[in-house]
Amino acid sequence: MLSKRIIPCLDVREGRTTKGVKFQNNVDIGDPVEMARYYYEEGADELVFYDITASAEKRGIMLEVVRRVAQEIFIPFSVGGGLHSFRDMDAVRMAGAEKVSVNTGAVMNPEIIRRGATAFGNQCVVLGMDAKYVGRRPGIRSGYEVYTHGGRRAAGLDALEWARRAEDLGAGEICLNSIDADGTQSGYELTITRLISTHVSIPVIASGGAGTPEHLVDVLTKGCADAALVASMVHFGGYRIRDLKQHLHDRGVKVRMTW
């Protein structure tokens, strides 16, 4: 059995790490380069960097920040936000990211998933998906709808159907963020996490809602996720990465211990 991964997420706006609740009321919490180095030294398995307003502001991602972060860490590093073309994806890879995460750009042009997977390998292309429960209705059979532009626009896509299509196009991983749970620290949204995880054959990273170590246990076991994204619970000093891993280990969840 593969080890479960713990992945800190850095949401970046105007060159600073920020965090909000349900994609609103974001506050400044620090320098992304310093935070990336800290989490690397703490034993994080990977790191995710999102330029959270790049798509909404219709601009490219801040490559200089990506370069600086890549110089400080030696673990897989995924970057997303504002990637709308193969050229954007290639630029992020050249700046030092091992993986590219496409969300709004992939909804607008699904073929960039296939092109990125062909050029870089499936393992380098992550589908970033922001989903919200809207109830079952025509076109949204699962009850969960995909949102784009940093959670601002409903895409009219069913989350499960979009996950399956992205896998067929070549995505090697899905980072699934629940808008309903984002930043609440009240637990991951297990229903959609389990739904997606059990209907695709590629790894699923659960995102949104982590507040206690037991929430990670739940999403990695009951939610069937392969990895857990953490933000607020580590950004604000409540928990350390190594403490989370120790808790998972003690609860019988296989994780990579580096100390």
- The C-alpha atoms of residue 195 and residue 200 are separated, in whole angstroms, by 9
Sequence-distant (≥ 6) Cβ neighbours of residue 250 within 8 angstroms: none
90 is catalytic: no
The token pair that represents 1 in the structure block: 């059995």
Closest by alpha carbon to 190, among 160, 225, 231? Answer: 225
**Counting beta carbons within 10 angstroms of the beta carbon of residue 74, is it exposed (0 to 12), middle (13 to 18) or buried (19 or more)?**
exposed
- The C-alpha atoms of residue 104 and residue 232 are separated, in whole angstroms, by 24
Pairing outcome for strands 47-51 and 77-80? parallel
Which alpha helices (H) appear in 121-174, and where do they start and end?
159-169
Q: Which of 45, 88, 130, 158 is catalytic?
A: 130
**Counting beta carbons within 10 angstroms of the beta carbon of residue 8, is it exposed (0 to 12), middle (13 to 18) or buried (19 or more)?**
buried
Closest by alpha carbon to 101, among 176, 168, 31? Answer: 176
130 is catalytic: yes
Q: Which of 11, 51, 88, 182 is catalytic?
A: 11
- Active site positions, annotated: 11, 130
